[in-house]
Amino acid sequence: MSARYVVGIDLGTTHCALAYAPIEEGESTAAVEVLSAPQLVAQGTLDARPLLPSFLYLAHASEGPQALPWDAERAFVVGEYARSRGVDAPARLVSSAKSWLSHAGVDRRGSILPLGAPEDVEKISPVEASWRLLEHLAEAWDARFAANDPSLALARQEVILTVPASFDAAARDLTVEAAGAAGIENLTLLEEPQAALYAWTLARGDRWRKEVKIGDVLLVIDVGGGTTDFSAIAALEQDGALELVRVAVGDHILLGGDNMDLALAHVVRQKLVAEGKEIDRWQMSALTYACRAAKESLLNDASLASAPIVVAGRGSKLFGGGLRSELTRDEVTATLVDGFFPEVPATARPSVRARVGLTQIGLPYAADAAITRHLASFLGRQVGAVEKIPGFTPPARRGDAGDRAPKLLHPTAVLFNGGVMKGTALAARLIGTLNAWLSADGAPPARVLEGADLDLAVARGAASYGLARHGRGLRIRGGTARAYYVGIESAVPAVPGVEPPITALCLAPFGMEEGTSATLPPHELGLVVGEPVRFRFFGSSVRREDQAGTELDAWKEGELAELSPIEITLPAEGRREGDVVPVKLHAAVTEIGTLLLEAVPVTPQKPDERWKIELGVRAEG
């Protein structure tokens, strides 16, 4: 039986949400609703909330089962109680599962989380952490809708799962793997900034068509709790109608609202320490929470000079023993507006931390907290993103600057997403800085697309995209945001201490759409039967011209980024172990939206013989 709902799931770094709409025939405009997900909010207490915090708490045996209406024996907690319990017992808490899923430096299928957990904790893999979050949403859905009608189970609906635009092929693959483990099979991936734009068109109704014109370059700036993501979407003319094409995505930046709250908490902590007070871990967590509330009031109300910060005593005695301080406007401006959104020139680039010999395995947090520098880098790298798009005419630049080559991509409108951008002072600084860059480059200033719902936009937008696929509403085209290359070592005599030069063979060109295949490159590679063979793997978000089969001997600094290696194991079936089999590598993009790499033998022993190539293999350090 066919699906009756489209379901959009925002699998966020700090929060998850699920939105849905019925699939109806005809032109009726179905309303997109958000599911209130039942979750434990305290020991033994269940509450339904629209947001499911992306935290997983592995309960100690003494805590007993963490019963849910659909499972009385559960040993772990997902959601609000997991987050609050994690403050009490941090060693048993898994957080930022999504960031781990995109961390190429660890074995993402290996049981590594929580890092540094005590021995009695049964660790889980990053894939399982995401799986458990999705499983909870699926169970909540089934409990609400499918109790009496199995055809309404989430497994049988059309699910749109969002991923950061910056997720590479391996991270997308692992996300699909986690969803499959949670029973979600009928799945399509959608990039979060695109989902935010769909949500915006949904919220604006038909008015949005007046607000976006042919020739616009929309910049989506998505600053979430833990990650920052940029995408550029061009509005162009196709057969006389407006069409949106996603032309560029930024790098994966582990930097978000949580960093800002923590930064403010440190400011207040400094003041309290100066007064001779000691702050323990619990107080620091309460302080961070208090700073978040103070930040929101100060950023949105310009008339406030300061906001009080109070952390009450931890015990049953509220009075006496509490911490009292305040956060002033100057401190918020210095820490957040200037710290995270400094006014920098368009040529500024984020600083990169020097590699230290002994690094602890942890998340690769952004070394530079300045979001404006990351944005300058994105726009600078993507300067050519709209140059060769058929049907696109960029707006004219001012006369005197028109002769110089542009220094950056020129967005004409900005859509904000993520709770952080609710801070009007932050949004104003970001727009001000961007427009200063544009002005210096002779381009007109960018406007802000108003009326976005910043919290639940991604889930809503995903459901809205699901409806669009049924023929209602607009679709953003895009395809893959990177070209993919396999690294081949050149056969040269070894020189000690010098890495053999490597050439990059393009397997999948930029912008491959769902359900398409790349041409088979002419190059043959030799694979050894029965042994796993690894190749270095690269992606480029700027090389738009390379076709499958293009071979690169040299490339500019930063054009290619190394991804986690790929691995092929040829089964011995029908061949002798140790034999070398010549193969060609073939790329396709599945309907789900993942990259599929296969090895196709030059001399197949049976029709259509091919082997899947594993993405997301742990890099050997």
Among 277, 324, 353, 610, binds another protein (CB under 8 A): 324
| Least separation in angstroms between CB 315 and another protein | 8
CB of 87 to another protein, least distance (A): 12
CA distances (Å), origin 12, targets 91, 175, 362, 457, 458: 22, 12, 19, 12, 9
Is 277 near another protein (CB under 8 A)?
no
Count Cβ atoms within 10 A of the Cβ of residue 357 and give its class: 0-12 exposed, 13-18 middle, 19 or more buried: exposed
Task: Give the residue with the Cβ less far from another protein, 88 or 330.
Answer: 88
State yes or no: residue 42 binds another protein (CB under 8 A). Answer: yes
Terminal C-alpha separation, the chain: 48
Q: Contact with another protein (CB under 8 A): which of 110, 308, 395, 522? A: 308
Taking the complex as a whole, the smallest distance from the CB of residue 44 to another protein amounts, in Å, to 3
Contact region with another protein (CB under 8 A), list: 42-50, 132-140, 389-397, 407-415: 42-50
CA atoms within 13 A on the CB side of 520: 12
The one among 318, 334, 361, 396 contacting another protein by CB under 8 A = 318
Contact 408, 372 (CB under 8 A): no
Size, binding site for another protein by CB under 8 A: 27
In degrees, rounded to 5, the angle at the alpha carbon of residue 411 between the alpha carbons of residues 405 and 414 is: 160
Residue 559 CA: distances (Å) to CA of 166, 409, 483: 15, 16, 11
Q: How many CA atoms lie within 13 A of 565 on its CB side?
A: 14
DSSP 265-328: HHHHHHHHHHTT----HHHHHHHHHHHHHHHHHHHH-TT-SEEEEEE--SSS--SSS-EEEEEE
Stretch that binds another protein, among 37-45, 152-160, 212-220, 343-351 (CB under 8 A): 37-45
Q: Is 49 in the site for another protein (CB under 8 A)?
A: yes
Residue 88 in the binding site for another protein (CB under 8 A): yes
Crossing angle of helices 126-145 and 169-181, rounded to 10°: 50
Task: Determine the residue type at 135.
Answer: E
Tell which one of 43, 151, 393, 519 touches another protein (CB under 8 A).
Answer: 43
Q: Which is nearer to another protein, 87 or 600 (CB)?
A: 87
Q: At what angle do helices 281-300 and 257-274 cross, to 10 degrees?
A: 110
Contact region for another protein (CB under 8 A) — 34-42, 134-142, 347-355, 516-524? 34-42
> Toward another protein, which CB reaches closer, 312 or 600?
312
69 touches another protein by CB under 8 A? yes
Residues paired with residue 34 on neighbouring β-strands, in sequence order? 19
| Stretch of 62-70, 440-448, 467-475, 539-547 contacting another protein, by CB under 8 A | 62-70
Interaction of residue 361 with another protein, rule CB under 8 A: no
Establish if 316 lies at the interface with another protein (CB under 8 A): yes
Alpha helices in 356-452 (DSSP H): 371-381, 424-440
The least CB distance from residue 67 to another protein, in Å, is 5
Among 75, 152, 312, 344, binds another protein (CB under 8 A): 312
41 binds another protein (CB under 8 A): yes
The residues that bridge with 601 in the sheet, in sequence order, are 583
| CB nearer to another protein: pick between 46 and 488 | 46
For the four alpha carbons of 64, 69, 72 and 75, in that order, the dihedral sign comes to negative
The rounded distance, in Å, linking the Cα atoms of 521 and 509 is: 11
Considering beta carbons, is residue 76 or 208 the nearer one to another protein?
Answer: 76
Residue 534 binds another protein (CB under 8 A): no
Least Cα distance to 96 among 266, 255, 289 occurs for 255
* 317 is an interface residue for another protein by CB under 8 A: yes
Q: Is 47 in the site for another protein (CB under 8 A)?
A: yes
Query: Which residue, 44 or 391, is less far from another protein as judged by CB?
Result: 44
Question: For 549, how many CA atoms within 13 A lie in the half-sphere containing its CB?
Answer: 6
Q: Which is nearer to another protein, 48 or 572 (CB)?
A: 48
**For residue 425, what are its two tokens?**
């002072």
Single residue of 273, 302, 305, 310 touching another protein by CB under 8 A: 310
Q: Which stretch binds another protein (CB under 8 A): 167-175, 311-319, 471-479, 529-537?
A: 311-319
CB of 66 to another protein, least distance (A): 8
Residue 61 as a binder of another protein (CB under 8 A): the answer is: no
For residues 140 and 36, give the distance between their C-alpha atoms in angstroms, rounded to a whole number.
9
Is there binding between residue 320 and another protein (CB under 8 A)? yes
Residue appearing with tokens 């019925």: 22
- Residues forming the site for another protein (CB under 8 A): 40-49, 67-69, 72, 88, 293, 308, 310-312, 316-320, 322, 324
